Amino acid sequence: MLVQDAVWLISLMLMGLILLVFIVVYARSQQRQDDYTPLKDRAYRLRTRFFWVLVFTLIPVGLYTLIDLPYPEANAETRVDHVVDVVGYQWRWELSQTEFKAGETVLFRVSTADVNHGFGIYDENLRLMAQVQAMPGYTNRLRYTFDKPGTYKALCMEYCGTAHHGMISDIQVVAR
């Protein structure tokens, strides 16, 4: 398990705990010290409270499943056609592979040999298709599927010195 995943899980659990405290406080706030309410009314009240607890529990769970986190499968190394190592240098990219077939999914493992760079994949019209930060000491993963054939470009997206603009690598995607 990655450190980020563990931190995310712990954060979720803490958020859940805080939510639980809120629910308990809310439920208790309705209580009276000397309660002479008939039993059937109390049972009804309990049912109402139970309903709200359920709603407040289900809303976050529902939202969590609905939210589409960016690059959801970036960390999985399965179901990719190629795993490509990318290293940024002042001022060039080194890719272990630069030719792919259309429709192939590539997992880029991006790092840098010196300073921070930004690894951006652009299509033929220089439209940004995917990007990830290149950081010293880290390997950031970027999963991208090349849908159309053409000459893509890898550009640096983080100003990294005088020849930053020259960090261009071609990525060839040929038709199947």
Which residues would be at the binding site for Cu ion (CB under 5 A)?
117, 156, 160, 167
CB 87 within 8 A of CB 112: yes
Rounded CA-CA distance 37/106 in Å is 66
Select 12 or 128, whichever has its Cβ closest to Cu ion. Answer: 128
Rounded CA-CA distance 158/135 in Å is 11
Residue 133 CB, nearest approach to Cu ion (Å): 11
Residue 99 CB, nearest approach to Cu ion (Å): 23
Select 106 or 167, whichever has its Cβ closest to Cu ion. Answer: 167
Q: ω into residue 91 within 30 of 0, thus cis? A: yes
Residue 155 CB, nearest approach to Cu ion (Å): 9
* Cα–Cα distances in angstroms (integers) from residue 62 to residues 68, 94, 101, in the given order: 12, 42, 38
Of 100, 90, 137, the closest CA to residue 121 belongs to: 100
Select 80 or 108, whichever has its Cβ closest to Cu ion. Answer: 108
Select 117 or 143, whichever has its Cβ closest to Cu ion. Answer: 117
Select 87 or 107, whichever has its Cβ closest to Cu ion. Answer: 87
CB 174 within 8 A of CB 148: no
Residue 114 CB, nearest approach to Cu ion (Å): 9
Residue 95 CB, nearest approach to Cu ion (Å): 14
